[in-house]
């Protein structure tokens, strides 16, 4: 599987990092969300893994949208921001 990576130190500002932490915290209020789903991928953004498309496509996002529209919008905004970063490709096994 190929995952695009970005240089978090060059691309990500403190506001985006704070938004990611707020989104992760917000996910704890959503019933039925997997620990290894969207939460894990949001943490991966801190390491420069571009999981933006995978986050938005994840089944947990339907639960988020149903239970908290503001949180859903926050996560969607984070993903749009991350998708704007220049990327390379890394093969993960």
pLDDT top residue among 61 and 35:
61
Query: pTM of the prediction?
Result: 0.90
Q: 60 φ, ψ to 5°?
A: -60, -25
Please report, for residues 16, 32, 79, the alpha-carbon distance to residue 59 in angstroms, rounded to integers and kept in the order given.
23, 10, 16
With cut-offs at 50, 70 and 90, classify the pLDDT of residue 1: low
Burial class (CB in 10 A: 0-12, 13-18, 19+), 8: middle
SS3 26: helix
Count CB atoms within 10 A of the CB of residue 87.
17
53, 78 contact by CB (below 8 A): no
The domains of the chain are located at 2-91
């Amino acid at each position: 599987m190929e995952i695009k990576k970005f240089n978090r130190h060059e691309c990500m500002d403190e506001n985006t990092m704070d938004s990611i932490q707020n989104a992760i915290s917000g996910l704890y209020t959503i019933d039925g969300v997997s620990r290894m789903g969207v939460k894990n991928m949001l943490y991966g953004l801190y390491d420069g893994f571009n999981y933006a498309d995978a986050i938005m496509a994840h089944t947990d996002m339907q639960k988020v949208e149903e239970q908290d529209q503001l949180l859903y919008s926050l996560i969607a905004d984070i993903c749009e921001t991350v998708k704007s970063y220049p990327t390379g490709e890394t093969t993960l096994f």
